[in-house]
Amino acid sequence: MPNNQFRRGELYSFITGMASTAIARRLQKNFKQEGIEITIEQWSVLYHLWKTDGISQQELCNASFRDKPSITRLVDNLEKLKLVKRFPSQTDRRSNMIMLTDAAKKLQEKTMELAAKTLNEALEGVNASDVETAKKVLQQVYDNLK
């Protein structure tokens, strides 16, 4: 018998991800309040490029846990916003290098600040060691299912 059998009625918010939905909405709101007009999904792509600029779309797929069509279109939209640019890879003609523009580089500091602020709003009044436990559990869930 499984260790963590859920009682019925307890599973809804876990499955539907109401907490992370709430975090995403709040972050979006905090972006807007500061005049930053990108979506959370676009931000999450920029996030990986800030760590490593010039990676391929496939690498963005792996890093951001999205499929290829999603990345194609996110990169399309980021390109329209002049936040990234596709360059053909020198070594593999199937592959694109996605490069940040200066405008995108300028977004890093402020948006990371807002992300940290949003998380602090989210975790107001939550015991720090419980947060660590929750992070560990969510990481394990991800590893179990990915």
Q: Which residues bind DNA (CB under 7 A)?
A: 21, 25, 28-29, 39, 41-42, 56-59, 61, 66-77, 80, 86, 89, 92-96
| Residue 35 binds a copy of itself (CB under 8 A) | no
CB of 82 within 8 A of CB of 101?
Answer: yes
CB of 119 within 8 A of CB of 26?
Answer: no
| Residue 130 binds a copy of itself (CB under 8 A) | yes
| Residue 62 binds a copy of itself (CB under 8 A) | no
Burial class (CB in 10 A: 0-12, 13-18, 19+), 42: buried
Contact flags string 63-82 toward a copy of itself, x per CB under 8 A:
-xx-----------------
| Residue 135 binds a copy of itself (CB under 8 A) | yes
Of the two residues 12 and 87, which places its CB atom closer to a copy of itself in the complex? Answer: 12
Residue 73's H or E segment, with its range, is: helix 68-80
Q: Please tell me the number of Cα atoms within 13 Å of 115 on its side-chain side.
A: 13
Shortest Å distance, C-beta 63 to a copy of itself = 9
Distance CA 78, CA 81 (A): 5
Enter the tokens of residue 43. 């931000």
Shortest Å distance, C-beta 28 to a copy of itself = 11
| Residue 145 binds a copy of itself (CB under 8 A) | yes
Helices (H), ranges, the chain: 12-16, 18-33, 40-51, 57-64, 68-80, 102-122, 128-145
Task: Tell me the β-bridge partners of 85.
Answer: 99
Q: Which does 28 bind (CB under 5 to 8 A by kind): a copy of itself, DNA, none?
A: DNA
Residues at the contact surface with a copy of itself, assessed by CB under 8 A: 2-6, 8, 10-27, 40, 44, 47, 64-65, 112, 115-116, 118-126, 128, 130-131, 133-142, 144-146
